[in-house]
Amino acid sequence: MVYAYDNLICSFENNIMLIKINRPAVLNALNSAVFEDLYSVFQQMKEDDDVRVVILTGTGDKSFAAGSDVSEMSACNLIDGRKFALGVNRAQQAIANFPRPTIVAINGFAFGGGLEVAMCCDIRIASQAAKMANPEINVGLIPGGGGTQRLARMVGSGMAKEIIFTCQTINAETALRIGLVNRVVSPEKLLDEALEMAKTIASKSPVLMTLAKQAINIGQDLDLENALKVEVELFAQCFGTEDGKEGLSAFVEKRKPVIKGR
């Protein structure tokens, strides 16, 4: 498939899609066009079985995405604001619901909408130089792209309220301590770390990865009893896949499994 977008740079190798948000002149700020491109690329990749892992980052070394584009939002009335938020939500849900694993490499500022996009990904790796915030109240708004919901689910409502109410900027080490990111690495090793993890994930069965991701995502919004029922059903589905049968046979036969993605 051809992946060509005005605001994204896409490169594909070894079953890994690397996507860079590409608006460096404005620190990769997210306007409606960027969100439309993000929605489109994730929808396109859903139909491309060759894409086993996605890495999302920003161009340059200063910013992943320095928030949603305030200059665009400043012209909105109530109806326009709702329309903008719905477009943001559509793009972010396309990322969050993408069936295969996603990694975000946070290479600098991840403010407002940028942090919200990062939280849609499965795994977050941050540069030591990364800075994160939900400062929307400072510009007359509240987080409207999942910030009030995903942040609270990740770090707890008390910490989320502190970050949102104070508009404080947190560094990468603080983000790691509160569970907002998975790893922190030096700026020069950020992309290598993401690619190394992506290679490991891409070597596994994509169909089993999808089932595992579904179990986690669905289960986290249910009580434990019902979440365990979901896990049982998805676990059972493994036995109906070629990769599941191959994995079991390979283990018994003490050999490396041959992954077919089915």
236 and 163 in a common domain: no
Q: For residue 69, give the 3-state DSSP assignment.
A: coil
Give pTM, 2 decimals: 0.94
Q: Which of 13, 47, 136, 162 is catalytic?
A: 136
Check if the beta carbon of residue 58 is closer than 8 Å to that of residue 7: no
Q: For residue 55, give the 3-state DSSP assignment.
A: strand
Q: How far apart are CA 170 and CA 56, in angstroms?
A: 21
Helix and strand counts by DSSP (H, E) for the chain: 11, 10
197 and 222 in a common domain: no
Q: Which of 47, 116, 246, 253 is catalytic?
A: 116
241 and 168 in a common domain: no
Within a domain: 262: no
Query: For the CA atoms of the chain, what is the radius of gyration?
Result: 19
Structure tokens at 167: 């508009």
In this predicted structure, the answer to whether residue 174 has a pLDDT above a threshold of 90 is yes
Which residues span the domain enclosing 248?
A: 206-252
- The pLDDT of residue 70: 80
- The pLDDT of residue 120: 97
Q: For residue 17, give the 3-state DSSP assignment.
A: strand
What domain count does the chain have? 2
Check if the beta carbon of residue 28 is closer than 8 Å to that of residue 66: yes
136 is catalytic: yes
In this predicted structure, the answer to whether residue 67 has a pLDDT above a threshold of 90 is no
137 and 214 in a common domain: no
116 is catalytic: yes
Average pLDDT over residues 184-202: 97
